[in-house]
Structure 1
Amino acid sequence: MKCIACVAVVLCGCSSAGGPVVPADRPLLSFTGTSATDANKAALPKAFTRPDEHNCAADTTRIYLGELFVNGLDNPEVSWHWAPIVSGAQPAQPTLGQPEFSVAGTLRGVDDSGDDVLADHPFGLDVDADLEPDPGYAFIQFDTRTSTTLHTEVETRIFPRTALGYAPAANDRALMRGVWVLDCGHPPYGAEMHPPTFTAYSRAADAKTTIAAAAVMPYRSTLLFTQDAGAAVALDNTARYGTAKPFALAMVDAVQNAVLLNQDHITTHAMMTANRFDKLDFLVCAPLPKPAGASVDASWRFTARTGVKVIATKLDASGCVRVEASMDATYKPMALTYADAPWSWQALSDSASSQLGQSIDVRQAIIDALKTRGLDASSAPSLQIDHPPRVDAYAALQTRPGADQDSPVQIVTGADDQPYPLYGRVRVSWK
C-alpha cells in the first residue's frame, strides 16, 4: 500500500491557473468541460438516430422470461433482460465489450426495489434512481411513455452507499457512466443505465458547503450464462464465452438438464466480468453564490487499487475541486469467489407474476410445459416444492474502514485488499 498524502497536500494548494474553463453558473457536480459529451458522441454509431426497440425482440410486446410461459419454451425472442442500445463488437454476443456512456443531471427519485429477477441480479435487489439529464445528455433518455428521466439501477450489495456514508436522494446532483440499454422486461421498452459502472453524487450540506461521494463498481454480469460455476467467476478467461447463452436459453437447458439428469436443483450461472474505465474527469463545486470576500476550502479522501491513479486539484477561482482518475494495464480485479443461494418457488412465482401482470405458478408451469414435450417431470427432484432453484448470490462487497470520511486530505493507492477500483469523498466550502 502506498499513501500519497504528501502529493495530495501539494495538490490542495493548487490554483486554477492553466486549468479547465469552469462556467460561472456551474452546478455542484459536473463532468469537466466537454470530456464526457465528446466521449458520448464518439461512442455513437454515425447513422444512429434513436434506440431500436427491436433490439429486445422482433415482437415488441414480448416480455423477458414471461414469454417462455406465454409463448412456449421453444419460441423465445427476448434474449436479453437489458438489450444493448449500442452493442459490443460481436453481433452474437452484443453484451460483451459494450461501449459505456456518461450522463450528468439531477435525481428526481430514488428507491430500493422490492422485486427483481434474482437469477440475473447476483448482487441482490436494485437501488433505483430516476435522473433528469442535463441538456447535453438529453439524447440518452428514451421512453415511449411520458417520462423525461433516465432510469438507472445498481445492485444493493455492490453499491457502497452505506460504507461511503452517502445515500443518494431526490434533488441530488449525479454523474454516471455505464452501459446504455433497453429494459426488455416491461413493454413498451424504455432506456436505462443498467448498471452504471461509475457513480458520483453531491448535495449542499449547507449554504456554503458541498459534499460528494464517488465509486467505480468492480464487476457486472455479462448476461451470458453457463452451467459451469467456475467459469462464471473466471474473470480473465475470454475463451469461456464460447458456449455461453442468454438467460432464457440457458434456463431452458438448465431445466432439461436438471430433470433428465435427476439433479436436485435447477441452476445456471451468470458470467461476471471486471469493469474497466479509461479516464474520469469531474468537478465538485461549492454552492453559489460565492459570499463576498470568501475563499475556497476543500478536502478529500480517495482509495484505489493498483493500476488506478487519482489526482485531485483545488481550483480557487471557481470554488471547485477537479478529480481526475485513470486506469492502466496494470489493473487487476480482485478475484470473485463463487456463491449461490436458493430462490424459493414462491418468490420466483411472485416475481414472474409481477412481470407478466397475471398470476403464475412457475414450478407448475414448467411441469406443464415439459408435459407438452412428452416428459412427465412431476416427480423430478428439482421440481419439488422443497427443492427451489439456486441462483448466484454474492456477498456484499466491503470497502476499507473510514470510507465515509473526507478529511484529512489523502489519496491511497495499492489498496488491493478491497475490490473497488476506486471510491472516495470530497468536501468543498467557502470560508
Structure 2
Amino acid sequence: MNILILGSGGREHAFALKLSESKKLSKLFVAPGNAGTANCAVNLDIDPVDFPAVKNAVLENKIEMVIVGPEAPLVAGVHDFFLADDALKNIPVVGPKKDGAELEGSKEFSKKFMKRHNVPTAAYDAFTKETLAEGKAFLETLKAPYVLKADGLAAGKGVLILETLEEAKAELEDMLTNNKFGEASSKVVIEEFLDGIELSVFVLTDGKSYKVLPSAKDYKRIGEGDTGLNTGGMGAISPVPFANDDFLQKVEDRVVIPTVEGLQKDGIDYRGFIFIGLMNIDGNPFVIEYNVRMGDPETEAVLPRIDSDLLDLFEGVATQTLDKKSFALTSKTATTVMVVAGGYPEAYEKGKVITGLENVEGTTVFHAGTKLSNDAVVTNGGRVMTFTTLADSMEAALEKSYENISKVSFEGMNFRKDIGFDLKDL
C-alpha cells in the first residue's frame, strides 16, 4: 500500500518508522515531514491543512491510505473533505471526522460528552466575555488551585493552574477580554482541580471495537522537578509503573467503554486514536481531557512497545475489522527524552546545525523540529528531537537515552535531566 502521513513532528517520524517495518507497505510519504522522516519516507512540502494540495499529492502518488498525525487537520475536517470528494471518498483516513474531532476542538463539548455518558471527570462550567462576572463568581465556589482551560486549540499551552483566587480572576479576564490565547480563549472552561498522579491512555478504535494501547506519562514543564513554563512535552515513560492491571481495568470499564459506546450513541462514526488524559485519584481514574490523535512525545514511547504490524491495525480501522487483528506488546519499558532549542518555550532561534547523530547507538532518535539544509541537519522548531530507548527497566532505558544525548549537540541545546524522577519509588 502507498501511505501518506500528515504532520511534521516526532509523532509522525515514529509513525513512519513503525509503518516502514510492515510487509504491506509499498511507498511511504510524509507531508511535510522533517529530516528524520526523509530517511524512511518521501517528504512532500505540503501544509496538512491545505486540503486541495493534499488531494493533489494523494492522486499524484496513488495514495491508498492517509494517517493524520496532528489535531489541526482533523478539527478542520480533513476526513470530511475526503468523504465529500468523488476522487478521494474511497481512500480511508485514520483520524476522526469533524464531529468526532470536537472532543479535542472544544473543551466544553468534551466535558458535556463526559457528563452525558457518565465518564468520571472534574466539575466544571464554561464562560465567555459576556459572562465574565459569572465566571468570577464560579471561581469563588471552588477551592485552590484553580484550573482555567482555553476552549479551543492552543497547541497544548491553553491550560493554566493558579494558586490564588485573585490570580485566577485576573487570568480569566485576560483570556476572555485580551485574547491571551487568541480565538481559542474566546470561551474558557473553569474546572475543579483534581489532585492525583497524571497519565495518558491511548485507544485505537474503528468505531465499533477498540484496542487499548500502552499507557504513558509525559512531562510538560520546561524545568527540573516539573517547574517553569508549560511546553508541548519534554519526555515520556511507558508503561506507567502505578498503572497496574487493576487500575487499567477500571480505566477500560469506566472510561474507554463508555467513551466508545458514547460516540456510537451520539451517531459519531469515529475511526482513529483517542488520547485520554487521566488523573489517578486514590486508585480511581478521572478524565482530564480527550485528544483525537496520539500525543507527542508519548507516541515515541508507545509505538516502539507495539510488536504488531501497525499498518495491519490501520487496515482494521479502515474496514471496521479491528477486533480481528492481532495485537501484541513488549514488556520492556520505553523512555523518551526531548531535546529542545535554547529559549523554548519562549523565543528561540532556528537553523542551528546538529552534530553527532551518527554516534548514537542503542537509542532511536525521533526528529521533530528538524530539516535538511545543504546536507546538514539543522533545528527547525522549539522541540527538536527525542531520544527513545527500550530496556528491561526504566532506569536502564533512561541511562541509555541520556548517554546518547551526550553524543549530540547544537547551539543552545536544552533538555530535562530528571524525566521519570517521580516514578522511581512507585
User: Computing the radius of gyration over CA atoms, which structure comes out larger, 1 or 2?
Assistant: 1
Tell me if TM exceeds 0.5.
no
Higher strand share: 1
| Interval containing the TM-score (normalised by the shorter chain) | under 0.3
TM-score where L is the length of structure 1:
0.22
Higher helix share: 2
TM-score where L is the length of structure 2:
0.22
